[in-house]
Each structure stands twice: as structure tokens, then as C-alpha cells.
Structure 1
Amino acid sequence: MTRYMDVHHGMQGITADQLRAGHEAAAAVEKEEGVHFEHAWADPESGTVYCLSEGPSPEAVHRAHELSGAQGPDEIHAVPLAV
């Protein structure tokens, strides 16, 4: 499985509760696409949200977001190396 960092734009003003709810909604459907959402971060001022996940493909990550009812990510980047 590959790790992915996806990026959502246009979420100015997002709160910690909204970020948590979105992450929990994604976690509730992740098995349907074989994706595991590990962590999420947000910058309410810029409206940028970052999600770290593991999955079989970028398409599976995108579909898992959509199944959760969330806006699909604007960018998905593979991050195969970590320290």
C-alpha cells in the first residue's frame, strides 16, 4: 500500500470540530475502497486541508472521500518515502 497526502482548497474558516467530523466520516467508509485515513490537518485561514492516508491508488483515496460525503481532494500526492 502507498501513502498519499491529499490537499483540499477552499475550506476557509474550517473548525476543529468540522475537521474531526470529516475525518471520522472518511474513516467510516474507508474499508469500502481499501483506504486507511491516518491523520488530517487544516489551516482555517488559507482554507487548506491536508489528509494523510494509505491506499491502493489515488483513485481509491478520491472515491473514499466522495463516499464519506466530503468534497473530493483537489490534489493527491504519493509519498512513498518517510523518515
Structure 2
Amino acid sequence: MPLYMDVHRNVEGSAKDVAEAHRADLETQGKYGVNYKHYWVDETDGAVFCLFEAPNKEAGAKVHEEAHGLVADEIFEVQQGE
């Protein structure tokens, strides 16, 4: 299954807020065949990065939209390096 990294910019919220949003993603992801693997938060710059497997990037976007409404600014298909 393809692997994606999404980027959220200008996020207003703490790492705790992001953790709550991630929990909501995990509760919703099965509906769309998505597997959120990890996320990273940069509170100083207001950025959040999410790594997920999905049939397509639109499925990942739908999970965020339904789970909490915080859609990504960009989604990239990525490959893990060695």
C-alpha cells in the first residue's frame, strides 16, 4: 500500500491537542482503509506532519476531515529510505 506524508501548517494548538486529533484519526481510519503510523509536532512553527498508508492520498484527507476537520495543506507520496 502506498505511503504518504502530510503537512499541516499554521496549526494553532499544543502537542496535546494534536495527540487528541490523532486519536480521532485512529478511530476513523478503518472506514477508509487508512493506517496512520506516526505524527510529529513542531509547536514553535505550528507545523504537524503525519505518516500514513492508504489506497490513495484522498483517503487520508477524508480521515482528517471526518475525524476533526484539520485537513493537510499538502500530501506527498513517499518511500522509506534504507
Shared fold (TM-score, shorter chain, > 0.5): yes
Match of 2:27 in 1: 28
Aligned Cα root-mean-square deviation (Å): 1.1
1:27 is paired with a residue whose SS is helix
2:10 is paired with a residue whose SS is coil
Is the 1:3–1:52 Cα contact (8 Å) retained in structure 2?
Answer: yes
Match of 1:50 in 2: 49
Match of 1:41 in 2: 40
Shift of 1:75: 0.3
Q: One-letter code of the match for 2:7?
A: V
Match of 2:2 in 1: 2
Q: Does 1:62 align with 2:61?
A: yes
Is the 2:15–2:43 Cα contact (8 Å) retained in structure 1?
Answer: no
Is the 1:22–1:70 Cα contact (8 Å) retained in structure 2?
Answer: no
1:51 is paired with a residue whose SS is strand
Taking the aligned partners of 1:51 and 1:70, their CA distance within structure 2 comes to: 15
Shift of 1:82: 2.9
Q: Structure 2: any 5+ residue segments left out of the alignment?
A: none
Q: One-letter code of the match for 2:61?
A: H
Taking the aligned partners of 2:24 and 2:38, their CA distance within structure 1 comes to: 13
User: TM-score if structure 1 supplies the norm length?
Assistant: 0.91
Q: Structure 1: any 5+ residue segments left out of the alignment?
A: none
**C-alpha distance after superposition, 1:44-76 (max 9, x if no partner):** 111110000000001101011101023110000
Count of equivalent residues: 82
Give identity over the alignment, percent: 34
